[in-house]
Amino acid sequence: MPAEMPVESASPRSAEFLGHPKGLYICFFTEMWERFSFYGMKALLLLYLIKYHLFTDDFGYNLIGAYGGLVYAMPVIGGLVADRWLGMRKAVVFGGILLVLGHLGMAIEGDQATLVDGVVRRDEGALQVFYFSLALIIMGVGFLKPNISTIVGKLYAENDPRRDSGFSIFYAGINIGATVSALLCGWLGETWGWGWGFGAAGIGMIAGLANFLYGQKHLLGHAEPREPGKLRQRLLGPLTREHLIYLGAIAGLFVIWILIQAHSLILVLIPGFFEPTPVVLSMHLVSVCLFGGILWFMFKHCSKVEREQMFAVLAFIGFCLIFFTLYEQTYGSWVLFSDRAMNHQALGIEWTASQLTFLGAFFILVLAPIFAWLWPRLEQRGWNPSKPAKSAYGLILAGVSFLVLVWSARNPQANGLTNIWWFVLAYFVLEVGEMMLSPIGLSAVTQLSVPRVVGLMMGGWFLGTSYSEILAAELGKLSSIEIPEGAVLDVAEALSRYDELFAFSAKIGIGSGILVLLLTPLFKRLMHGVR
């Protein structure tokens, strides 16, 4: 191979600020506000369904599972459309508009559900707005999420030494947005009214879209369509390819709207069998196409070494699927556990259950610079674990976080409720596990994938996350509690149900982690020296 010429930065020095392209800061604030709106809404979603619309725990888990599965599956399509035709800038703007509409639609509460003679009466009109708002958010994330990250990479030349620090700055924006949103939107939603919390999330998304529109000029053309001529090509009368992409997305909204409002949206677990629903079947269709294409490429176009490295990538996707099945309990069973069975007083503040979801992003902000410093130091001393070993430790720590909650459930305070500090500790242990697995997995995807199909493998990563949402919801249903009409929650019984779920989850995390640790030599051989 010919020697590579030195590569200049993708952005001229005149277009920089504090040593980085100005476009980085546009992407930083866009993603910060988008994640503010996304996680602010997510913190309230399950509580809103159960407390305001009086849905059962099972229904709530079904819906958040379907929503989570679809919201992480859509970026596979959104990224593909942007890469081939639309361009990243147009995709982000379109996705941002959909997200603004979706989050503002969530602020329309309608009438509170009531229980009359054992029958729940709900505002069906408001629920239809709610379901369509979720569809808008799902489609909006699909267009925005994969492309805003890609734009960041385009701002730097391939060999620019600033690239890693640029991505570190960018991902800090994600966690800042998630931290602040849970505190603010959670407090507004549970104290002032659900519409206030969802509305605040919508205002955040407006700020993100406005920031991106204002700063488009700083992207310096790196996010434009590959072939603008194809985008302007008329395919149906006066309608261009671009028009048809937008119309297709709008048509897709109505499909998602229908899927999301079904009474049972995820896999119904029957002992030994999985019964697929329309949402899951849709995901299966995307998965078959994606992974079928990956396998075809592996056996048709890859050498033996490349093929084995690609198998290693698929293994890392599997590790993350297991981890995030457990992690997503933080927006499911952990929220209901903290709402129903935990003292909320700490540091002189009465915390709400939705507010406490800020702990995940907060600990990531604290831990990220520590781990960024730690791995190079361990590498210098020859103590740096391999990527499979790190993933194994991450899974084990995820299991240990649930053991902390098991301890808290079995040792309540005098008033029968659990101590909030055990909950904080569980979050801390879980996030240490995430730092050992999630960034490592993403790194493995980029290092081990054949360059031509890195985007395709990232699609596989998103789909793995999508399935984890489905499985997380099903797992959370093991702790579902049905409170009879006129009855008061039996906290001791609730703790017993959560104890069972947390103990089972701990076994999944620790058991899978030990298995991955035992198989680490095999995975290292498949990686062929990549560390």
pLDDT in tens, 267-298: 444 443 445 667 777 777 878 888 888 889 89
Q: How many CB atoms lie within 10 A of CB 221?
A: 9
Rounded mean pLDDT of 408-436? Answer: 95
What single string gives the DSSP state of each residue in 87-117? -HHHHHHHHHHHHHHHHHHHT---SPPEEET
Q: What is the dihedral of CA 382, 383, 384, 387, to 10 degrees?
A: 110
Sequence-distant (≥ 6) Cβ neighbours of residue 90 within 8 angstroms: 82, 225, 242
Among 87-101, 203-217, 485-499, the range scoring the smallest mean pLDDT is: 485-499
Q: What is the pLDDT of residue 438?
A: 85
pLDDT at 81 over 90: no
Q: What is the pLDDT of residue 93?
A: 94
Q: How many CB atoms lie within 10 A of CB 509?
A: 26
pLDDT at 264 over 80: no
Q: What is the pLDDT of residue 80?
A: 82
Q: What is the pLDDT of residue 73?
A: 86
Q: What is the pLDDT of residue 66?
A: 87
Average pLDDT of the residues of the chain: 87
For the chain, what percent of residues have pLDDT higher than 70? 92
Q: What is the pLDDT of residue 20?
A: 83
Rounded mean pLDDT of 235-264? Answer: 87
Greater model confidence, 263 or 44: 44
Q: What is the pLDDT of residue 337?
A: 96
Greater model confidence, 80 or 425: 425
Q: What is the pLDDT of residue 485?
A: 63
Here the contacts of 245-252 (C-beta below 8 Å, separation 24 or greater) are 245/81, 245/85, 245/86, 246/94, 249/94, 249/98, 249/139, 249/143, 252/139
Q: What is the pLDDT of residue 11?
A: 54
Q: What is the pLDDT of residue 1?
A: 45
- Crossing angle of helices 278-301 and 304-327, in 10° steps, is 160
Q: How many CB atoms lie within 10 A of CB 190?
A: 22
Greater model confidence, 150 or 201: 201
Q: How many CA atoms lie within 13 A of 493 on its CB side?
A: 7
Q: What is the pLDDT of residue 12?
A: 56
pLDDT in tens, 63-74: 998 898 889 888
pLDDT in tens, 398-407: 999 999 999 9
pLDDT at 329 over 90: yes
pLDDT in tens, 502-531: 999 999 999 999 999 999 999 999 998 877
Q: How many CA atoms lie within 13 A of 317 on its CB side?
A: 24
pLDDT at 18 over 60: yes
Greater model confidence, 273 or 29: 29
pLDDT at 62 over 90: no
Greater model confidence, 159 or 36: 36
pLDDT in tens, 438-465: 888 877 887 888 877 776 787 788 888 8
Q: What is the pLDDT of residue 103?
A: 95
Superfamily name and number for 286-531 = MFS general substrate transporter like domains (1.20.1250.20)
Q: What is the pLDDT of residue 268?
A: 42
Q: Which residues pair with 120 in a beta bridge?
A: 115
Question: What are the structure tokens assigned to 164, written together?
Answer: 């890693």
Q: Which residues pair with 273 in a beta bridge?
A: 270
Q: What is the pLDDT of residue 210?
A: 95
Q: Which residues pair with 342 in a beta bridge?
A: 418
Q: What is the pLDDT of residue 4?
A: 38
CATH 3.20.20.140 fits 22-265, yes or no: no
Rounded mean pLDDT of 372-376? Answer: 85
CATH 1.20.1250.20 boundaries in the chain: 22-265, 286-531
